[in-house]
Structure 1
Amino acid sequence: MQKVLAFAGSNSSTSINQQLLDHLVGRIQGHKIKEVKLTDYPLPIYSADLEKNEGFPINATIIKNLIAESDALVIAVNEHNGAPSAFFKNIIDWLSRVNRNFLEGKQILLISTSPGKRGASSSLEYTKNIFGRFGGEVIESFSLPSFKDNFEEGKVTNEVLDMGIEDVLTTFAHQIQS
């Protein structure tokens, strides 16, 4: 049984990515899941001057330690104008300064959704590409398109998409076991 840390890269109280994450985390079997809200760990906007004059914020170190204590990650990536939100990018910036390889040895499942047909796939691809720089390995990913058409009352309503999610979750759960 592996320890899996799950979080969404959104700071919205009504985040659809958080809703999708909550649903998927409940479906991962055979592992110990810890879900956290990054909004519980506020960070100032990254600045080299701030880092030089004040050091690393304690919340950056706390988030880094939460990641370090886990074997694998499930991360829901939101999208603002084709890229990860400034909130999530700022967290990545701080974490990479605290420890450049803050994702070292971590196997990652990335998920995303949006109201549009692309399901935040641009943000998902961006995140997939940069996580390797920090030592992480994205072993599975899934983008749910048209959130309002395919997700209702806490679950995926489109059967084909739901089967795709089940396949991704099963592969991820088996992959992190080995």
Structure 2
Amino acid sequence: MKVLAFAATSSKSSINKQLANYTAKQINNAQVELLDINDYEMPLFNEDREKELGQPARAKAFYQKLGDADVIVISFAEHNGSYTAAYKNLFDWTSRIDQKLFQNKPVIMLSTSPGPGGAASVLASAQASAPFFAAEVKGTISVPSFYDNFDLENGQLTNQDLVDKIMNVITKL
């Protein structure tokens, strides 16, 4: 099973990337590809640029990565209650190729933050819009207080309730 995992942020040391990677690796028989959205950076989307540039190769490549996956694991960072600018831009460009950019793939949506909110606002937004973009959401999990619930040295969750929630979602794949 090909699992595409990524954090919806451009941070190189992203806690969301660690969470996405951890979750993807819990899937039995998974070939995990941990994607860095920095590899898909493009100019800010607007209609004028779209007329000028058409569909950028990086947006097409990202769309292809989504299409090649059997399962998609995304962990959303939250900037001021919403998507990061880097992810939103990539999402906007890619959705112009095909609004159904998730291509009816099973998706696990996660979020985390250092604080107790666990980036729950952006996760709720992503979940609410998912049907419009052909994401078959198998479950959503917000991990609050990341550093209290994740062992950085061993790369794993330490909170058994959160581990159980992730494993429960994985059984739905």
Q: Same fold (TM over 0.5)?
A: yes
CA distance in 2, matches of 1:160, 1:136: 26
- CA shift, 1:14, in A, is 1.4
Is the counterpart of residue 121 in structure 1 residue 149 in structure 2?
no
Three-state SS of the structure 1 residue aligned to 2:107 is strand
CA–CA separation in structure 2 for the residues paired with 1:134 and 1:116: 29
TM-score by length of structure 2 reads: 0.92
After superposition, the C-alpha distances for 1:5-24 in whole angstroms (9 at most, x for unaligned) are: 11111101111101111222
1:149 maps to 148
Q: What do residues 116-153 of structure 1 show as CA deviations (whole Å, max 9, x unaligned)? A: 11211111110111121111111111111111111122
Cα distance between partner residues in 1 of 2:130 and 2:8:
14
* 3-state SS, counterpart of residue 73 of structure 2: strand
Q: 2: CA distance between counterparts of 1:44 and 1:136?
A: 25
Aligned-partner residue type, residue 105 of structure 1: N
Q: Tell me which residue corresponds to 1:86.
A: 85
Q: Which residue identity does 2:160 align to in structure 1?
A: E
Structure 1 residue 53, shift from structure 2 partner: 1.3
d(CA) in 1 for partners of 2:94 and 2:6? 15
Name the structure 2 match of 1:60: 59
Verify: 1:161 aligned to 2:162, yes or no.
Answer: yes
5+ long unaligned stretches in structure 2: none
Task: Tell me what 1:135 maps to.
Answer: 134
Deviates more, 1:76-85 or 1:151-160: 151-160
Q: Structure 2 CA distance, aligned partners of 1:19 and 1:31?
A: 16
Q: Distance in 2 between the 1:22 and 1:108 partners?
A: 14
Distance 2:71 2:100 in 1: 14
* CA-CA distance at 1:168 after TM superposition: 2.3
Deviation sequence 1:101-127 (CA, Å, 0-9, x none): 112221110111011112111111101
Number of aligned pairs?
A: 171
User: 1:56, CA displacement in angstroms?
Assistant: 1.4
Distance in 2 (CA, whole Å) between partners of 1:41 and 1:83 is 20
Measure, in 2, the Cα distance between the counterparts of 1:109 and 1:8: 12
| Aligned-partner residue type, residue 91 of structure 1 | L
* RMSD value, Cα: 1.4
Measured in 2, the distance between the counterparts of 1:151 and 1:20 equals 9
Indicate if the aligned counterparts of 2:4 and 2:34 stay in contact, CA closer than 8 A: yes
